[in-house]
Amino acid sequence: METELFVINDIEKDHDKLERAAGLIKNGSLVAFPTETVYGLGANALDGQAVRRIFDVKGRPMDNPLILHIPDMLWLKRYCLDIPPEAYKLAERFWPGPLTMVLKRKSTVPDEVTAGLHTVAVRCPNHKVALRLIRLVGAPVAAPSANISGRPSPTKAGHVLYDLSGKIAGVVDGGSCMVGVESTIVDLSAKPYKILRPGGVTPEQLSEVLGPVGLDSGVLQAPKDSETVKAPGMKYRHYAPKAQVILLMGDIEKAAGFVNRLDRETTGVLCFDEEIPHFKVKYILSYGKRDDYAAQAQKLFHCLRALDEKRVKTIYARCPESSGVGLAVSNRLLKASGYQIVEV
């Protein structure tokens, strides 16, 4: 299959291209599109057969449900039941934006989307191209991140093409994603409400609306095999480049001393801007200042993919504090590393 590329520079001038992309989705094909978080692989969510194709193409386990993307909060009641008032409060404050809410589902949502769960995850993305595309489709768009399952999520159209070229009908190129990590997922289907996945909307921000809100135990720890995982996607090794990622904790002098003794050709480093001068290996990328979590989130997946292109065998990554958006960055790095940590 040839993958058609729709480059959008100006949403008005390029409207026809978006109409063509929406037409493909309406016909049951898969089209990747930009959101503010990461690129999504979109299908008409009301077409079970189209949704099944997403799982085939990504190599995604069928028990891992998808997020419904809607253009505004008025669509919530078409697909969700028993919506608590807090859901509307959160939508008013954070939508469009990087927040996904898990709510009880209506039977209007195909089983393929929810993997048979009695809940459905819904979000309204803060990206003009995504919102226009969904409106043109005229139905909710089911979209996981547009990568091969397990790989780092795509934050540029080029990342999508690298993983999925020839396997999907189209890619809408709307430039780089601003947030860079996937949306925060909050479960409102049962009390106490809980964060299942950290993202661009922080726990601190959520608690301004919800009061104190818990964090699923899988966010910063490896889930135990016996534990049922609330966001089924979080149990798999995830966000991982081909190289082995190892988190490098501790003082920078010692950390650099440790890495600088390793093979300089096959060892990659992902560090903070101010740490670059300490490292002597060949492939070093920085992803923002130590306390600039937003920059780190935006660059994280791109840097992991870029280090892979250098064919390093191991990537030693410096990990931020887990406060604010730093929590989302640490969570992705932990998952990418399969919880491998070196403490120097």
* Residues contacting ligand TXA: total by CB under 6 A: 29
Taking the complex as a whole, the smallest distance from the CB of residue 148 to ligand TXA amounts, in Å, to 12
| Element of type H or E holding 208 | helix 203-210
**What residue 100 binds from Mg ion, ligand TXA, none (CB within 5 to 8 A, per partner kind)?**
ligand TXA
Write down the least CB distance from residue 278 to ligand TXA, Å. Answer: 33
Judge if the upstream peptide bond of residue 192 is cis by omega within 30 degrees of 0: yes
Q: How many residues of this chain bind Mg ion (CB under 5 A)?
A: 1
Residue 163: which of ligand TXA, Mg ion, none does it interact with, CB under 5 to 8 A by kind? none
Least spacing, CB of residue 144 vs Mg ion, in Å? 5
Residue 25 to residue 205: CA distance in whole angstroms: 34
183 binds ligand TXA (CB under 6 A): yes
Contact of residue 38 among ligand TXA, Mg ion, none (CB under 5-8 Å per partner type): ligand TXA
**Any contact of residue 303 with ligand TXA (CB under 6 A)?**
no
What is d(CA 264, CA 212) in angstroms, rounded to the nearest whole number? Answer: 46
Sole residue written with tokens 């989130």: 297
Task: Give CA–CA dist 297/90, Å, rounded.
Answer: 22
Q: Which is nearer to ligand TXA, 44 or 183 (CB)?
A: 183
In whole angstroms, how large is the CA radius of gyration of the chain? 20
Q: Are strands 141-142 and 40-44 parallel, antiparallel or unpaired?
A: antiparallel
Return phi, psi of residue 6, to 5°: -110, 105
Could you say which of 71, 154, 218, 233 contacts ligand TXA (CB under 6 A)?
233
Task: Rule CB under 6 A: say whether 96 interacts with ligand TXA.
Answer: no
One-letter amino acid for residue 57 of the chain: V
Q: Look at residue 205 and give the partner it binds from Mg ion, ligand TXA, none, a contact being a CB closer than 5 to 8 Å depending on partner kind.
A: none
Contact by Cβ (8 Å): 90, 259: no
Helices and strands: H and E segment counts in the chain: 11, 17
From the list 7-15, 20-28, 30-38, 261-269, the region that binds ligand TXA by CB under 6 A is 30-38
Q: Choose the contact partner of 53 out of ligand TXA, Mg ion, none; CB within 5 to 8 A by kind.
A: none
Contacts of 281 (CB under 8 A, 6+ apart): 259, 260, 262, 264, 267, 268, 269
Least distance to ligand TXA, CB of residue 246, Å: 23
| Footprint (CB under 5 A) of Mg ion, residues 130-189 | 145
Residue 115 backbone phi and psi in degrees, to 5: 50, 35
What does the binding site for ligand TXA look like in residue numbers (CB under 6 A)?
A: 35, 37-38, 40, 64-67, 100, 102, 114, 117, 119-121, 123, 125, 143-145, 182-183, 185, 196, 230-234
What does the binding site for Mg ion look like in residue numbers (CB under 5 A)?
A: 145
